[in-house]
Amino acid sequence: MCELIQERQKCPWLWPDTIFNMTSSGRKHKKALDILHGFTNKVINDRIEQRKEHQDTNEDASDVTAIYSSSNRRIRAFLDLLLGEYDQGNITKEGVREEVDTFMFEGHDTTAASLQWVIHLVGHHPDVQSRLQKEVDSFFESIPVDGNIKPDQLKDLNFLECVVKVCFIPI
């Protein structure tokens, strides 16, 4: 799946869904996505069934998967929170699946893929790359010899922050 996404990122002609879906990579991507969604749907449906079984016995279904903090306060599982919202009509089943997909699959490689995308785009714009290089070089020249960088010092990398923000599509 990651390779298919990376291939698509590197080929601008594959960015439109209509074109990508007609390619062999698009078909492989759809097949892999169907498998992932099938797995997620099974997890959701199994949990819905567990909740129904516990409802029949007047038990709180969230107790089954609850985690208790050090103060013995019950913390409900995220899926139970989503299903509670689903029960109240605040989210659709597809919305629940999308959220579950996010925390089950999509977070594992996001940072690496994002950095790869930024580097790819910067590499296609030598003027931006040159300006970034100058900013980063001057930033590291101002760092003490011990090399420790404090979080508040990162605010000096203004152009880098702008470039990263421009590279990401707002959600």
Q: Model pTM greater than 0.85?
A: no
Under 8 Å between Cβ of 96 and 82: yes
pLDDT at 68: 43
In sequence order, what are the residues at sequence separation of 6 or more whose Cβ sits closer than 8 angstroms to the Cβ of residue 159?
Answer: 131, 132, 135
As beta bridge partners, residue 67 has 75
pLDDT tens-digit series, residues 16-45? 999 999 999 999 999 999 998 999 999 999
As beta bridge partners, residue 68 has 74
In sequence order, what are the residues at sequence separation of 6 or more whose Cβ sits closer than 8 angstroms to the Cβ of residue 90?
Answer: none
The tokens describing 152, both together, are 């508040």
The tokens describing 129, both together, are 């790359």
CA distance 164 to 7: 21
Under 8 Å between Cβ of 149 and 140: no
How confident is the prediction along the chain (171 residues), in pLDDT tens digits per residue?
A: 778 888 898 999 999 999 999 999 999 999 999 998 999 999 999 999 988 888 776 655 555 444 444 455 556 688 888 998 999 999 999 999 988 888 777 666 677 778 888 999 999 999 999 999 999 999 998 887 777 888 888 899 999 999 988 988 665
Distance of CA 157 to the CA centre of its chain: 25
Show me where the domains of the chain are located.
1-124
Determine phi and psi for 144, rounding to 5 degrees: -60, 160
As beta bridge partners, residue 75 has 67
